[in-house]
Amino acid sequence: MKSKREQMVREIKEKYGLSSSDVLSAILRVPRHKFVPKEKQKVTYEDAPVPIGYGQTMSQPYTVAMMTYLLLGNKEKGIGKKKLKKVLEIGTGSGYQAAVLSKFFNQVYTIEIIPELAERASSTLARMGYKNVFVKKGSGEWGWKEKAPYDAVMVTAGVEKVPDELFEQLKVGGILVAPVGKGNDKVMTRFTKLRNKRTEKLKNGKTLRLRSGQTKQPSNQTPKLFTEEFGTFHFVPFVEEGV
């Protein structure tokens, strides 16, 4: 399987142009096939999402790499460097994305609303020795307030609007990445939580000078959010509590 994983990483780099050495190294180090049912392992390293049951999928390899890259603010960190403290993932699924995030964060908190998937992912992650990943059964729309604030938040299912609670649990200066929009095709969107200043130093080292119309805000009008879009991706919809 290692040779297939190496080929998958080459494809992410050559076909899609994602060349972050740290992200690609993390993808290479996590055995993707161990996060899916045995009957699906043969297709795990193909350039496509993998069904994991209950109407859910493990995201396409490039999507996992891209979301990880965006969450880090386009900076190389984690592998062989100082890790960030905490990340919250909404939508554990198979547990694979959480395993990748564990290479960059000291603590990974991940929530899954489908009990069977939460239990399976928790068991898989524990069996593979991911001691810094913590799985919770529940609705991601409320986040995981007890463990907040987070350096970063990742939403791995399509949403029409990011719940305000997730922005509230994000640190000032932190990044939230989510596929946003109507229908199955979503726009990959990165939000940076800003202080209420006219200029702001972003995680990628750039200085942002705010202008009218350049930010979007959650319903409570604070804090400001710098919003960036990174193309269209296909996602299963966000599952809400009681649905």
Residue extents of the structural domains in the chain = 2-234
For residues 212 and 148, the model is more confident at 148
**What span, in angstroms and rounded, lies between the C-alpha atoms of 14 and 120?**
33
CA distances from 122 to 23, 35, 85 (A): 23, 11, 20
For residues 22 and 184, the model is more confident at 22
Predicted pLDDT of residue 197? 53
Comparing 114-123, 132-141, 161-170, 180-189, the range with the smallest average pLDDT is 180-189
Percent of the chain with pLDDT over 90: 67
Residues 6+ apart with CB under 8 A from 168: 143, 148, 218
Altogether, the residues listed in the chain come to a count of: 243
Say if residue 12's pLDDT is above 50: yes
**What span, in angstroms and rounded, lies between the C-alpha atoms of 73 and 90?**
18
In which band, very low, low, confident or very high, does the pLDDT at 185 lie, cut at 50, 70 and 90? confident
Say if residue 27's pLDDT is above 70: yes
Verify cis geometry, omega within 30 degrees of 0, for the bond prior to 149: yes
DSSP state of 158: B
Helices (H), 72-160: 96-101, 115-127
Query: Residue 15 burial by CB count (10 A; 0-12/13-18/19+): exposed, middle or buried?
Result: exposed
Catalytic residue among 20, 59, 94, 122: 59
Residues 126-144, mean pLDDT to the nearest whole number: 95
Instruction: Specify the fold of 2-234.
Output: Rossmann fold (3.40.50)
Comparing 111-120, 127-136, 141-150, 198-207, the range with the smallest average pLDDT is 198-207
Predicted pLDDT of residue 105? 96
Mean pLDDT value across the chain: 85
**What span, in angstroms and rounded, lies between the C-alpha atoms of 112 and 140?**
7
Q: Is there a catalytic annotation at residue 59?
A: yes
Say if residue 29's pLDDT is above 70: yes
Say if residue 220's pLDDT is above 90: no
Say if residue 22's pLDDT is above 90: yes
DSSP state of 241: T
User: For tokens 């593979």, what's the residue?
Assistant: 128
Residues 101-129, mean pLDDT to the nearest whole number: 96
Q: Locate 16 and state its tokens.
A: 């899609």
Which has the closest alpha carbon to 210: 191, 231, 196?
196
Look up the pTM and report it.
0.84
Predicted pLDDT of residue 46? 93
At position 108, the amino acid (one-letter code) is V
At position 228, the amino acid (one-letter code) is E
